Structure 1
Amino acid sequence: MNSILLLQLTLILCSLLLTIGVIIYLKQQMELIILPIQHVGQKLVHPLLEKPSPIPVNDLLQTNNKQQLLIFTDTSCPHCIPSLEQFLETKKQRKLDVSFSILLKNGQKEDQELYRDNKTNMRIIPVDEQMIDAFQIEEFPYYIMVEDEIISYAAPFPDGLYSRISAK
């Protein structure tokens, strides 16, 4: 009888130690995936937000629009095309009036066809590492709104942008 009780206590202790080990391991893995605790609740802001564009956008795009959306993408980015498709669908549904261009890192002429459709007249501009560095882009896709040569929006997703764009 004592040996059965001792065996049960040993099994409970082993299960408890294994559970604690799994919890510690998962906690370490989660720290690699999500922001550290000190960043929770803090707004991470792009360093150029509310500052002048590092490159005159009207010169770059050869346009005189006061409001211009730059969508930085990379040919090797698996999220860029779905993000752009979602943006185009939302733009169409909400009838948003915004001039935008796609700045394609490592882009070649044949890569432009990935983004081309007959309904949307969008500018696709191949850019190099210098342009990416000038705008301090560290991830793709990245949406930057420039209004009167001042960066008014900068984020890896366009969700906060929709309220800033007027409808047609």
Structure 2
Amino acid sequence: MNSILLLQLTLILCSLLLTIGMIIYLKHQMELIILPIQYAGQKLMHPLLEKPSPIQMSELLHTKSKQELLIFTDTACPHCIPSLEQFLEMKKQRNLNVSFSILLKNGQKEDQELYRDSQTNMRIIPVDEQMIDKFQIEEFPYYIMVEEDETISYAAPFPDGLYSRIPAK
């Protein structure tokens, strides 16, 4: 009787040790695949978020503005124009008061007409790869809000999170 009880206790102890070993192994494996803290949801947070702008806005825009939305686009991007149209429609619907500029990668003079809008006074600034690299842009379109103190308060490939931050006229 004692040998059966001892055998059962040994089996329970072995299965407990095996379970603990499996938990430790799986925990270690999960640490390898869990996203680092700089990820929000499934998207990587922009490395310049809440940091100073890599360039002075007055150098880029040749104006002084309290807050500036930079919309990075590429002439080869099929999503840029529809995204910009959606942003302009939302700006109009919500009567948002925001100064913005379109930074057009590889833009030529004739490309600027793609973005021309008779009702919106938007600045279209052709930029090169060096400017794209300074802002660490890896996809297009990309929306970056630069505050008056030249810190970046918003950075995302879509403008949805901006609407609550921008005051109405």
TM-score (norm 1): 0.76
Q: Give CA deviations for 1:56-112 in whole Å, capped at 9, x if unaligned.
A: 012210111110000000000000000000000000000000000000000000000
> What is the alpha-carbon root mean square deviation over aligned residues?
1.5
Q: How does 1:103-114 map to 2 (within 5 A)?
A: 103-114=103-114
Confirm or deny that 1:127 pairs with 2:123.
no
1:39 and 1:112 map into 2 onto residues whose CA distance is 39
1:120 and 1:100 map into 2 onto residues whose CA distance is 10
SS of aligned partner of 2:163: helix
Partner of 1:118: 118
Q: Give CA deviations for 1:6-63 in whole Å, capped at 9, x if unaligned.
A: xxxxxxxxxxxxxxxxxxxxxxxxxxxxxxx734994031000011000101221011
1:89 and 1:40 map into 2 onto residues whose CA distance is 36
SS of aligned partner of 1:140: coil
Q: Give CA deviations for 1:110-156 in whole Å, capped at 9, x if unaligned.
A: 00000001101100000000000000000000000000211000000
State the percentage of identical aligned residues: 82
Partner of 2:88: 88
1:60 and 1:79 map into 2 onto residues whose CA distance is 24
SS of aligned partner of 1:138: coil
Partner of 1:48: 48
Confirm or deny that 1:153 pairs with 2:154.
yes
Q: Read off the aligned partner of 2:150 and give its amino acid letter.
A: E
Q: How does 1:1-168 map to 2 (within 5 A)?
A: 38-39=34-35, 42-43=39-40, 44-147=44-147, 148-168=149-169
Q: Read off the aligned partner of 2:142 and give its amino acid letter.
A: Y
Please, which runs of 5 or more residues in structure 1 have no aligned partner? 1-36
Q: Read off the aligned partner of 2:56 and give its amino acid letter.
A: P
SS of aligned partner of 2:97: coil
Please, which runs of 5 or more residues in structure 2 have no aligned partner? 1-32
TM-score (norm 2): 0.75
Q: Read off the aligned partner of 1:132 and give its amino acid letter.
A: I
Give the aligned length.
132
- Which structure has the larger Rg over C-alpha atoms? 2
